Amino acid sequence: MEKVILVRYGEIILKGLNRPMFEDRLIKNIKQSLYGLGKISVRRSQARIFIEPRQDDFDFENAVTRLVNVMGIISVSIVWKIKTDFEEIKKHSVGMVRNYMTKLNRHAAAKGPVRMKETSEASVGFKVEAKRGNKNFPIQSPEICRQLGGYLLKNVPGLKVDVHDPDFIFYVEVRDSTYIYCDIIPAFGGLPVGTSGKAMLLLSGGIDSPVAGWMMAKRGMELEAVHFHTYPYTSERAKDKVIALARILSRYCHRIRLHIVPFTEIQLDINDKCPEEHLTVLMRRAMMKISEKIAAENGAKALITGESLGQVASQTVEAIAVTNEAVRMPVFRPLIGMDKNEVIETARRIDTYETSILPYEDCCTVFVAKHPKTRPGLEEIKELEGRLSLDAMIERAIADTETVVIGE
């Protein structure tokens, strides 16, 4: 009997002739995510990926923690690989179920008064689910469930059959080898990072932009990020906060190159020469122009922002249209139809929220108009930009940009 990890993927299965490319990229990302844990063998079989350690001290729990963050994976299980022989299956299943019941009882005891469903004798309800991928195996899936369930019921004290609301499910996958397990750990799904090209994320220190980047990584995009730093109006702690957010995102998309752009000169010039009501849109157009140039230099084909329609004055239809006009690249706004509560819920789920709410201001919160114009006109904005030496300032900002490489 050998302990291995079973990985399931979903959307990739629908990719037709391109499916091997997506599978190969997923395997590459899996290997990258498990780097440093020890020697492994990774193989693909019938819409499953099996990770087989090649050393005794392999850290399975750490591996699972990393794998659930790999985009393209829908779930992970630690499983036992055994010989495809029904007597062997029965023998090893009894041992596994006994061990699993011990774990359930310990968990129930630790929870105190909150306990699993109980009856006087048979306190643990279970059912068996079987998949027969090996069609040469003589017993079909329903019969495997019936016979193995009966055998477990007879040989493991404290069990009862409950097919509608079981305390646990015992899974059996019959292939060239057979895999038995009790737990399925959900992951995020999506597409493997790197299968949909590269984009540049405008990463502020707020809640929205990290979520936007994560959502596009889930669609298979490789991320680079650009952050605009207005020192000394924003502190080094604000920059450190953004680096921390990029590090969290790197759990999902591996290495991220974070480009930190000095933005003080541009913001001060806009603040000195333009009406206050237009500050935000002018600032965002400058950001978009800089981001597009840095993206082009680094092979990115699109920009990503955390804008949500109507959330603030610079995110009206008119303001977004004026902002878009500043660049030619596609601009992805995955949060555009989400409300703030939905964004916060996602931020909590991906572990960026607590970092995002640290009280260090970013450049978007330093120079803020009291009464921003919600429906700016493009011609008026362009006329205001003509007052600025914008091209020269953009070139200086890009030349002085600091790039930090985060993650593997």
Task: List pLDDT tens digits, range 210-244.
Answer: 999 999 999 999 999 999 999 888 888 999 999 99
pLDDT the model gives residue 365: 58
The answer to whether the pTM exceeds 0.85 is: yes
pLDDT the model gives residue 364: 56
Rounded CA-CA distance 280/397 in Å is 18
The string of pLDDT tens digits covering residues 64-90 is 999 999 999 999 999 999 999 999 999
Using an 8 Å Cβ cutoff, are 287 and 324 in contact?
Answer: no
The DSSP H or E segment spanning 401 is: none
pLDDT the model gives residue 254: 87
User: 102: buried, middle or exposed (CB in 10 Å: 19+, 13-18, 0-12)?
Assistant: exposed
- pLDDT tens series, the chain, 408 aa: 899 999 999 999 888 899 999 999 999 999 999 999 999 999 998 889 999 999 888 999 999 999 999 999 999 999 999 999 999 999 999 999 999 988 887 776 666 654 445 444 447 899 999 999 999 999 999 999 999 999 999 999 989 999 999 999 999 999 999 999 999 999 999 999 999 999 999 999 899 999 999 999 999 999 999 999 998 888 889 999 999 999 999 999 989 999 999 999 999 999 999 999 999 999 999 999 999 999 999 999 999 999 999 888 778 999 999 999 999 999 999 999 999 999 999 999 999 999 999 987 665 555 666 778 889 999 999 999 999 999 999 999 999 999 999 986
And the tokens for 96? 């596994």
Other C-beta atoms lying within 10 Å of the C-beta of residue 186 = 11
Helices 208-218 and 340-350: crossing angle, nearest 10°? 70
pLDDT the model gives residue 109: 65
> How does strand 73-83 pair with strand 2-9?
antiparallel
Residues 6+ apart with CB under 8 A from 152: 93, 94, 97, 126, 128, 159, 170
pLDDT the model gives residue 398: 98
pLDDT the model gives residue 118: 47
Of 91, 239, 231, nearest to 151 by C-alpha is 91
pLDDT the model gives residue 252: 96
